[in-house]
Amino acid sequence: MRNTYIIIIALIVLGVGAALILGAGRKAEAPEVKTSAVEEKPESEAAPNVTVGTVKEFTVAGKNFAFTPSTLTVQKGDRVKITFKNENGFHDFVIDEYGIATKQTQSPTTEVLEFTASKAGSFEYYCSVGTHRAMGMKGTLVVK
């Protein structure tokens, strides 16, 4: 009976050792997930407002206490991709009418939001942290 335990323990040790040796040097990587068919460009080449097919891309910078740009314009039915870059302070980015919001985070952070502009009109986007909205940290999404 004792020999059986020794053999079982030896097999377990060998199995764990082999797994460690074979797995050494490999990095665990998350699978690549594509959220749109838009070809990404390096930041230095990207324009703040780029149309590719039916996707409108914007980069919105958040600083104490403003968004740049303060107006985004799209057509009804466009797919909209907003990259929010919190460059200074503790902020978020919210558009109530489309039910989208980033997390409230301390700079520097970047978060990407995507949605379809299904409603025409002018919609305020803003920072929901404290009194930031009242202090002028807001902008307008215009859907024609």
58-98 pLDDT, tens per residue? 999 999 999 999 999 999 999 999 999 999 999 999 999 99
Q: Among candidates 60, 63, 65, which has minimal Cα distance to 95?
A: 60
Radius of gyration of the chain (CA): 24
Name the residue with tokens 């020999």: 3
Give me the architecture of the 49-143 domain, per CATH.
Sandwich (2.60)
Domain range list for the chain: 49-143
Express each pLDDT in 115-129 by its tens digit: 999 999 999 999 999
Residue count of the chain = 144
Q: What is the DSSP letter of 89?
A: S
- Using an 8 Å Cβ cutoff, are 114 and 79 in contact? yes
pTM of this structure: 0.63
Distance of alpha carbon 140 from alpha carbon 144, whole angstroms: 12
